[in-house]
């Protein structure tokens, strides 16, 4: 039997518009040689008709044309195809023209005369940004579907609770206890609609310990790229759950067909009851709930069933967290590839992102942030300069100072970076605001000290410290002591006070 032929990936479609036939033909021929599907027109209105009847990924247009300017064409094209990328070609080589083009919807621009390599680099850059935004929209769609699934399961659990409350024909005491157990599961299911898996696991450990009157409850959950753990203790007499004992109970629950187990154990010289339930994600074991409680005169099998229900209630949250982390990892991988390309061109100081990430992560530990918040700081610090993919190399590589108009272009990198990293949620927000200042004179939103996210403030001061301690063509490197003195001098004006204090704890005095 002949295997099916592989499906070829369709090449991106590019629309070229220029009223000069020679330039138009050169552009079209060059892009076709590079494997793109190219349609070309000399009249903007003909190009718009093509846009209405077909899907294009990129529009390349001249600025100066008789019936409609290139900027007017880009605006009209965005109305017809909002997701299309755009490159503006202009012979008016001024920074003001470039700024105007970017502000009026162009994703990038080329100034005549330009080389074939310049054309290829700009086209690839804009297409890469569009692909990243498309991946972000897909990840956001998945997250929304996951959230809706959790809400739907919450509604179903609540409906089941109502049916059981109405139909159970048990004694009053047993009925009340059963209802309390189902209300507990409903409470947990509602809790699982949150996004912070560390908080979910910690709250579940606390609620479980109180329901079972357990001395100690431990939950270990595998979220795909690491373990989330929580332990809660009740009562005045401390009782430890030794790791070997917890592992033994968890293994018994994993191998039992019911997914739960119980046994009489010795805890610090006295008999206790050990209980465990296996956690599952995608049908596979993904951790355990283990507890130790006083040994009761008689066993209640409903307690074991309830522990199994609690473990099952965690499954949607674990699967959603795994999917979220996979989506984040994919987005970070794409962004790191883009950042590596920027560094390889020399547009960003090599090693700068890694140093900022390492130092910001150490400083974040001094602020008492949650594990999730520390991960967001680490990710945002590593990718804080990703928006510079949209800034012309000529500005990034210039050894001297820039004009105010050129600085406006460079400052777009914070907002562009946040847009590229939108699938990362909070990490994208930290990238957007890492150039805000405590006195409100920063960018892009002019936030003041108490409005700036603490992670963004931390990345901002760490980036400044790294810049001070590494030489540039127009500026010598400060010693760590000199840089520390300068950072402290700007505390409360340029830099947020708590971020300065956290950094000061991890850099040389």
- What radius of gyration do the chain's Cα atoms show? 29
Q: Is the pLDDT of residue 67 over 80?
A: yes
Token reading at 226: 């690491």
Percent with pLDDT over 70 in the chain = 82
**120 in any annotated domain:** no
Q: Write down the pLDDT at residue 4.
A: 46
CATH code of 302's domain: 3.30.450.40
pLDDT over 50 (residue 30): yes
209 occurs within a structural domain: yes
Residues 350 and 459 in one domain: yes
- pLDDT score of 172: 52
Most confident among 2-11, 46-55, 476-485 (mean pLDDT): 476-485
| Residue 140 scores a pLDDT above 70 | no
Predicted confidence (pLDDT) at residue 59 exceeds the cutoff of 70: yes
Structure tokens at 473: 């063509």
Domain-ending residue, one of 92, 114, 136: 114
Given a cut of 60, is residue 195 above it in pLDDT?
no
Residue 315: phi and psi, rounded to 5, are: -55, -50
Residue 164 domain flag:
yes
> Is 133 within a domain?
no
Q: Is residue 350 part of a domain?
A: yes
Reported as a single tens digit per residue, the pLDDT across 145-171 is 766 777 777 677 666 666 555 555 545
Residue 197 has pLDDT above 70, yes or no: yes
State residue 194's pLDDT score.
53
- Could you read off the pLDDT of 253-312 as tens digits, one per residue? 999 999 999 998 877 677 899 999 999 998 899 999 999 998 887 777 788 888 998 888
**Stretch 6-28: mean pLDDT:** 81
User: For residue 107, what is the domain's CATH number?
Assistant: 3.40.50.2300
Q: Give the separation between CA 308 and CA 315, rounded to whole angstroms.
A: 11
Q: Which of 92-101, 112-121, 315-324 has the lowest mean pLDDT?
A: 92-101
Q: Is residue 19 pLDDT above 80, yes or no?
A: yes
Residues 395 and 304 in one domain: no
Give the number of domains in the chain.
3
All residues at 6 or more sequence positions from 489 whose CB lies less than 8 Å from its CB, including other chains: none
Other beta carbons within 10 Å of 144? 10
Show the tokens assigned to 84.
């299309």
Say if residue 83 is in the same domain as residue 152.
no
Q: Are 293 and 192 members of one domain?
A: yes
Task: Please give the Cα distance from 273 to 163 (Å, whole number).
Answer: 32
Same domain, 209 and 310: yes
Q: Residue 101: which H helix or E strand, with range?
A: helix 95-103
Give the pTM: 0.53
Q: Is the dihedral of CA 413, 419, 422, 426 positive or negative?
A: positive
Mean pLDDT for 416-421 is 88
Q: Provide the residue range defining the domain that includes 473.
A: 345-504
Q: List pLDDT tens digits, range 380-403.
A: 998 888 888 778 877 877 777 888
Q: Which residues contact 300 (CB under 8 A, 6 or more apart)?
A: none
* pLDDT at residue 99 is higher than 70: no
Same domain? 283 vs 220? yes
User: Does 268 share its domain with 371?
Assistant: no
Whether 460 and 384 map to the same domain: the answer is: yes
Residue 184: the pLDDT is 56
Query: Which CATH number goes with the domain that contains 474?
Result: 1.10.3210.10
Query: 262 and 400 share a domain?
Result: no
Cis, peptide link before residue 341, omega less than 30° from 0: no
Domain end position, chosen among 114, 130, 163: 114
Confidence of residue 429 (pLDDT cuts 50, 70, 90): very high
Residue 293 lies in a domain: yes
- Residue 8's pLDDT band, with cuts at 50, 70 and 90, is very low
Same-domain status, 90 and 232? no
C-alpha 39/C-alpha 489 separation (Å) is: 58
Mean pLDDT of the chain: 82
H/E segment holding residue 264 = strand 260-267
- Any domain includes 141: no
CA 507 – CA 509 distance, rounded (Å): 6
Peptide bond into 113 cis (omega under 30): yes
Per 3-state DSSP, what percentage of the chain is helix, strand, and coil (rounded to 5)? 55, 15, 30
On whether residue 124 sits in a domain, the answer given is no
Instruction: With cut-offs at 50, 70 and 90, classify the pLDDT of residue 192.
Output: low
Residue 90, both tokens: 């202009």
- 69: nearest Cα among 24, 99, 101: 101
Q: Is pLDDT at 464 greater than 50 in this prediction?
A: yes
Judgement on whether residues 378 and 308 belong to the same structural domain of the protein: no
pLDDT for the residue numbered 1: 45
pLDDT at position 339 over 90: no
**Does residue 103 share a domain with residue 42?**
yes
Per-residue pLDDT at 321 exceeds 50: yes
Confidence of residue 6 (pLDDT cuts 50, 70, 90): very low
Range among 266-280, 329-343, 433-447 with highest mean pLDDT value: 433-447
The pLDDT, as a whole number, for residue 187 is: 58
Nearest to 456 by CA among 489, 421, 508: 421
């Amino acid at each position: 039997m002949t295997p099916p032929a592989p499906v070829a990936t369709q090449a991106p479609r590019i629309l070229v518009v220029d009223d000069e036939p020679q330039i138009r033909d050169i552009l079209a021929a060059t892009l076709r040689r590079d494997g793109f599907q190219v349609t070309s027109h000399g009249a903007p209105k003909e190009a718009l008709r093509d846009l209405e009847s077909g899907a294009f990924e990129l529009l390349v247009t001249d600025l100066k044309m008789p019936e409609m300017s290139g900027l007017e064409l880009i605006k009209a094209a965005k109305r017809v195809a909002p997701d299309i990328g755009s490159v503006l070609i202009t012979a008016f080589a001024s920074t003001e023209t470039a700024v105007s083009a970017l502000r009026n919807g162009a994703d990038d621009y080329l100034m005549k005369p330009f080389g074939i390599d310049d054309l290829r680099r700009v086209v690839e850059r804009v297409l890469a940004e569009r692909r990243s935004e498309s991946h972000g929209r897909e990840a956001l769609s998945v997250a929304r579907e996951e959230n809706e699934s959790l809400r739907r399961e919450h509604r179903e659990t609540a409906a089941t609770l109502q049916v059981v409350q109405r139909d159970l024909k048990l004694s009053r005491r047993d009925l009340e206890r059963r209802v309390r157990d189902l209300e507990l599961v409903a409470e947990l299911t509602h809790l699982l609609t949150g996004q912070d898996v560390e908080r979910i696991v910690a709250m579940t450990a606390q609620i479980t310990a109180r329901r079972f009157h357990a001395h100690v409850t431990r939950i270990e959950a595998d979220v795909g790229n690491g373990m989330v753990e929580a332990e809660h203790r009740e009562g005045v007499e401390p009782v430890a759950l030794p790791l070997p004992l917890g592992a033994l109970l968890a293994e018994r629950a994993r191998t039992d067909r019911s997914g739960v187990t119980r046994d009489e154990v010795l805890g610090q010289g006295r008999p206790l009851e050990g209980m465990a339930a296996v956690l599952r994600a995608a049908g596979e074991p993904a951790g355990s709930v283990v507890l130790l409680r006083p040994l009761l005169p008689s066993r209640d099998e409903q307690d074991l069933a309830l522990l199994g229900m609690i473990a099952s209630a965690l499954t949607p949250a674990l699967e959603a967290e795994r999917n979220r982390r996979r989506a984040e990892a994919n987005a970070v991988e794409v962004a790191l590839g883009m950042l590596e390309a920027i560094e390889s061109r020399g547009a960003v100081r090599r090693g700068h992102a890694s140093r900022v990430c390492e130092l910001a992560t150490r400083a974040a530990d001094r602020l008492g942030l949650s594990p999730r918040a520390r991960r967001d700081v680490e990710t945002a610090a590593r990718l804080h300069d990703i928006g510079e993919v949209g800034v012309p190399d000529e500005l990034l590589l210039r050894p001297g100072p820039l004009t105010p108009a050129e600085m406006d272009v460079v400052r777009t990198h914070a907002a562009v970076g946040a847009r590229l990293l939108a699938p990362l949620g909070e990490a994208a927000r930290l990238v957007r605001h890492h150039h805000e200042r405590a006195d409100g004179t920063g960018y892009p939103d002019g936030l003041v000290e108490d409005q700036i996210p603490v992670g963004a403030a931390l990345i901002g001061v760490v980036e400044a410290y790294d810049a001070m301690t590494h030489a540039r063509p127009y500026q010598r490197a400060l010693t760590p002591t000199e840089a520390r003195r300068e950072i402290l001098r700007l505390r409360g004006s340029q830099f947020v006070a708590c971020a300065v204090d956290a950094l000061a704890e991890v850099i040389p005095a």
